[in-house]
Amino acid sequence: MIDSRDQMVGVGAMAHAPVLLVPGQAIREPTLIWSKILMTVLFLLISIGMTNLYSAAAGTSLFWSQLKNLALACVGFYVCGWIISPRFYNSYAYWIYGAVCAQLVLVDIIGGISMGAQRWLKVGPIVFQPSELAKIAVSIIVAKYFYTSRLSQPYTLRDLLPLSLIIGVAFLLIFAQPDLGTAGVCALIMTCQLCFIRINGRSLAIAATGGLTVVLGAWFFILRDYQKLRVLNLINPDMDSSNTGYNALQSFIAIGSGKFLGKGFMAGTQTQLQFLPARHTDFIFAVFSEEHGFLGTSVVFILFVTLIYMGLAIAKNGKDVFASLLAVGMTGIIFVSFAINTAMVLGLFPVVGVPLPFFSYGGTAMIVFCAAMGILVSIERESLDLFRKVSPFQRKSANSRSSKQRS
Amino acid sequence: MKKMSRSPHLLIESRFFAASIVIVIAALILWLRLWQLQIYRGDYYRRISENNRVRKIDVPAPRGILYDAWGKIILGNTATSELIVVPQYMKNQEKTFDVLARLLHQPGDLFKRKYKRAKSLPKFMPITMMRNLSLHEVSIIESNRLFLPGVEVRTTARREYNTGTSPHTLGHLGELSPSAMEEFNAKNKNNPYSIGDLVGRSGLEARLEQYLRGQHGYTLIQVDAFGRASNPTEHEWDLPLEAAKPGSNVQLTIDLELQETVSKAFSGKNGAVVVMDPNTGGILALTSLPSWDPYMYQRGLSPEEFRAMTLDPLHPFMDKTTSGEFAPGSTYKALVALAALQDGIITPNRSYICNGSFSLGSQAFGCWKKGGHGTVSLHRALMQSCDVYFYHVGIELGVDRIAKYARDFGLGSKLGLEINMERPGLVPTQEWKKSTHKELWAAGETPSVAIGQGYNLMTPLQLAALYSAIATRGKVWKPYIVKRISTPAGITLDERTPTLVRTIDSVSLENFELVRSGLEAVVMDDEGTGKNARVPGVRVAGKTGSVQVVNLKKNKNQSDVSILWKEHALFASFAPVENPEVVVVIISEHDDKGGGGASAAPVAGQILRSYFDLKKRRAGLAIGAAVTPIPTSQEGAEHD
């Protein structure tokens, strides 16, 4: 009891000050403290996000269909958090990755076309975007790679070569759709994970140079015209208000005109009069900013930052390299999506198709974000040895097996 | 293995701290950007978002209405549809204009040209592309609206003319060009014009522009991103609305019924008619022919049509009542007679012998009557318009003394009616000839001046003013046409009262009477040249005139020559003689029916008859009883 009170103090301090002081205190007691805060924040974010989507959808059926997606996402959250142990991903990492890659191939071949890109896969009544699943699959495979090839000295490029080859498959498949946004997000999630790995300095320099070459090469030889335009829009959104820069400009107007308190729920003129493009998907943050102002956006920022900190705390207390790296990956999904989406809406980043977690309309994305949160919960639960089984398919108790390993 | 599970971290512990910093910094950057957009520039973006959703729709004000002296509408308004485009909501301008031109059968570049002219306007401002759409055209546009984003049809007012009235007097409207607009708006800061506005370009429309135009109103409507007006009750938007203020109404001195008679009586001829009240200077009717269709500008005039009209030798665009300058011909003799009587050159009994011509040095001047009039005194000289009599008088009087009296009557300068570029006319003097032509006055030029030819130039309005002064025995009134300007609510803004410019005291009343009786004889005497102007029961006085346009050989037949070389037929008259109340001046240019007596006098007769008929009818209505025609008096026969 005393311990738990201490924890409460820690939580209280965390609400004000950066969490980074707290994660160090490893919590051994079987109290899902980080997960509880995470779930609270998640609940708030989803509530705000759904309310906002209701306004953005403005009477269309989008809200109701997203509500169904949310129900599925909740199931996903529970399954990932309480039924499937992180060990399951560890064991079946390559199978999972292979399955997602197979889906990506299918998308490239028979996928539905939307906005000039093939992104959808339709199985019966279910329509989903495998590229969203790829975010989790990539995180798993990176975690698995560093779990299996542990080195005492810093990793060099040669050590990382097999990983880049494995990841490259998914990356190219997504890029071919083309879905620049998701490809970039996958790369960034992987980068987040690599940040926690000791990498050889020389190798890093070479990789940086190579990366730059790839970026420049992509600009001149690979990127399609509309993708380049999006990047150019960033530089000057007023360039042509009726075409490419229109979205960004209308987004500024929507956000700016919200001022401090916003125009009120369902009363954003930019949104309700449809000046704002993609208002229920990529630009949904502008809807929220317009209707709830600086005050509302600040609250949402705090919630997101808190959520990310919870993810980091869980990562730090991960049971093993795999769990920690996977937690970093899951946190990275939220962080990268949040940062890129808001930066894009705020005109600090090119317009790429990255959804805002828990806000943007989209079934697969919602499920993937919730599943990622579930995985974070499962990692904390694993670190507290709360899993009896690796997965419902296994007879053996996961705990007993791990305790065997430990002893 | 155990070590790994306790400290699983191949992960670098310190990186968690670094990651926290990175996250805070990233969030802070985004948060600051939010602050910049929402707080620092919030007002700016709020304003833009308002502009985004709110569209200001100009509501053009209907122009003021022109009434005649009796309250009849001369120039009113009627509803019409016009085609407008709102550039903000146009998707593909080139294509839209091409489609429009094809749908409406208009030249391909018409709309593009108009659009280019309005380039400087804000994008939400509607631009008028075409006015007076037919029902068919409206339905074509409405049914294709889906493919024509930004194109709209709006109902507005257009001018409806009374076709009996001279379009020169009423004037026409034209679209304001961007360059002219700046000039206009410099003067009208409170009530600026916008591009495409119609402004008065001539006649009363131009002169009374500031009163007639009214003030634009506007409505604000809320539109969505596709330019569709949204239902304002859906959200609580309260948008201001400013109703258009219609222009002021103007009552003219014109008598519409008389004006219609004038137009009918004068139709088929070219030239001008002025009907004026000699006791006030109020204009009762004005006509200038050839004329133009007042709806011509509403329909749109092709450059070819316009060129053809400007090149027309009969000058259809010129308002001849005020800006046409003609030699007054024999109508001038009344003035010369007054001058000669007053200066003692002649007495009523002094006579000259007319044998058909008059010689001065080597020059010979003919009388219109080749056989001559025999012995003529003043009365007969006026009655029969003897030229030789006035050659003698002119020579004895001299050009400068004629000019002196002419100026007393207000000739040679503008009268101040202020419509359509009034011309001053010309009263020649020796001084004038010296300064203008650098030549001395030749004695041989005086006889021509004495019979109203030579350098003499008068506008029909001046001729009417001259005869008004003779009719009223020396009262010169400033001619006016605008009686009253009042707001649509009926509040009088300006009321013009008759202005007496001067009373001519240089001519005695006896001399006026002598000339007036001579002028009466022109019409009432059976030997008079103007007897075609008689009106039953009314004593009419007048003077005929025929003006040679070019010197033709004496016996050359008039019917052989081109119309432009034919004589002008003039007639100036007033009635009733005892108490004149109407002056009628007819100038029929290049008349092929004959001189003033044969061609112009009958028109004046018709106009006068109509005037007195109207007067009788109105008097009858006024007393509310059945009117029995007033028995024809026999006074007119006295002069036999």
Domain ranges of chain A: 42-60+88-364
Model confidence over B445-502: pLDDT tens digits? 888 888 888 888 888 888 899 999 998 988 888 888 888 898 888 888 888 888 888 8
Q: How many CB pairs under 8 A join A and B?
A: 161
Residue B227: strand, helix, or coil? coil
Contacts of B49 in chain A (CB under 8 A): 253-254, 256-257, 269-270, 275, 290
- Would you call A298 and B16 a contact, using CB atoms and an 8 Å cutoff? no
Nearest CB to B33 within list A198, A346, A405: A346
Residues of chain B neighbouring A406 (CB-CB closer than 8 A): 1-2, 5
pLDDT value at residue B309 = 84
Phi and psi at residue B417, to the nearest 5°: -80, -25
Which parts of A110-191 are beta strand (E)?
A: 112-114, 117-123, 126-128
Interface predicted TM-score (ipTM) of this complex, two decimals: 0.83
Interface with chain A: mutation pick from B2, B7, B12, B23, highest number of A CBs within 10 Å: B23
Q: What angle do CA B623, B626, B629 make, to 5 degrees?
A: 100
Query: How would you class B356 by CB atoms within 10 Å of its CB: exposed for 0-12, middle for 13-18, buried for 19 or more?
Result: middle
Token pair in block for residue B55 = 């569209």
> Pick from B161, B268, B146, B153: which is nearest to B204 by CA?
B161
pLDDT of residue B230: 62
Provide, as residue numbers in chain A, all residues whose Cβ is less than 8 Å from the Cβ of B48.
253, 256-257
User: Where is B522: in which H helix or E strand?
Assistant: helix B509-524
> Which two three-digit tokens encode residue A256?
């700016």
Which residue numbers in chain A have pLDDT < 70? 1-30, 59, 111-119, 124, 230-245, 389-407
pLDDT of res. A94: 92
Please list the residues that pair with B535 across neighbouring strands: B538
| CA–CA dist A284, A271 (Å, integer) | 9
Number of Cβ atoms within 10 Å of the Cβ of B571: 34
Tell me, what's the pLDDT at B162?
Answer: 81
Q: Report pLDDT for A27.
A: 47
Q: Which residues contact A74 (CB under 8 A, 6 or more apart)?
A: A370
Among B204, B246, B249, B191, smallest CA distance to B491 is for B249
Task: Quickly tell me which residue has 């432009």 as its tokens.
Answer: B564
Most confident of the following: B10-14, B222-226, B565-569: B565-569
Residue-level pLDDT at B637: 35
Rounded mean pLDDT of B141-149?
82
Instruction: Give A116→chain B minimum CA distance, Å.
Output: 22
Element (H, E) at B374: strand B374-376
Tokens of B618: 């109105």
Q: Is A201 on the interface with B (CB under 8 A)?
A: no
Residue-level pLDDT at B562 = 64
Would you tell me how many other CB atoms lie within 10 Å of the CB of residue A123?
9
Tell me the chain B residues in contact with residue A196 when contact means C-beta distances shorter than 8 Å. Answer: 11-12, 15-16, 19
Tell me what pLDDT residue A71 has. 94
Specify the CATH number of the domain B55-252. Answer: 3.90.1310.10
Mean pLDDT of B86-110: 82
Give the closest of B4, B21, B43 to A320, CB-based: B4
| B235 interaction partners in chain A (CB closer than 8 Å) | 266-267, 269, 272
Say which CATH topology domain B256-295+311-639 has: Beta-lactamase (3.40.710)
Which of these ranges, A334-338, B55-59, B549-553, has the smallest mean pLDDT? B549-553
Amino acid in the structure at residue B344: G
Report the range of poorest mean pLDDT among A275-279, B232-236, B615-619. B232-236
Residue at token pair 């009466």: B520
Residue A253 CA neighbour count, 13 Å, CB half: 26
Q: A-chain residues within 8 Å CB-CB of B226?
A: 274
Decide if A198 touches B, using CB distance below 8 A.
Answer: yes
CB contact under 8 A, A257 and B48: yes
Give the pairing of strands B492-495 and B374-376: unpaired
Write the CA distances from B56 to A182, A257, B566, integer angstroms.
43, 20, 59
> Which A residues, 56 through 75, put their C-beta within 8 Å of a C-beta on chain B?
none
Q: Given B16, B222, B224, which is nearest A274 (Cβ)?
A: B224
pLDDT given for residue B226 in this prediction: 64
pLDDT per position as a tens digit, B251-273: 989 888 888 888 888 888 888 89
Residue B152, strand partner residues: B84
What dihedral do alpha carbons B140, B142, B144, B148 form, nearest 10°?
120
> Span B582-605, mean pLDDT?
84
Contact A155, A142 (CB under 8 A): no
**Strand B66-67, strand B249-252: pairing:** parallel
Which burial class, exposed, middle or buried, applies to B233 when counting CB atoms under 10 A from its CB (0-12, 13-18, 19+)?
exposed
Instruction: Round the CA-based radius of gyration of chain B to a whole number and report it.
Output: 36
A289:B35 CB<8 A: no
pLDDT interval class at B240 (50, 70, 90): low
Which of B20, B37, B50 has the most A C-beta neighbours within 10 Å, making it the best mutation to test the interface with A? B37
**Interchain pair A325, B35: CB under 8 A:** no
> Where are the domains positioned within chain B?
55-252, 256-295+311-639
Burial letters B431-466, b for 16+ CB under 10 A, else e: ebbeeeeeeebeeebbbbbbbbbbbbbbbbbbbbbb
Share of chain B above pLDDT 70, in %: 88
- A259, B11: Cβ pair inside 8 Å? no
Q: Which residues contact B164 (CB under 8 A, 6 or more apart)?
A: B256, B259, B260, B263, B264
Rounded Cα gap, residues B346 and B377, in angstroms? 9
pLDDT at B21: 92
CB of A34 within 8 A of CB of A314?
A: yes
pTM: 0.61
Residue of A356, A360, A355, A352 whose CA lies nearest to A234 = A352
Q: Pick the residue with more confidence: B300 or B425? A: B425
Calpha distance A251→A284 (Å, rounded):
9
Please give the mean pLDDT across all residues of chain B: 81
Q: C-alpha distances in angstroms, B436 versus A393, B382, B402, B432, B439?
A: 121, 32, 19, 6, 8
> Who among B11, B44, B52 is closest to A196 (CB)?
B11
Nearest CA to B581 out of B284, B285, B277 is that of: B277
Residue type present at position B366: G
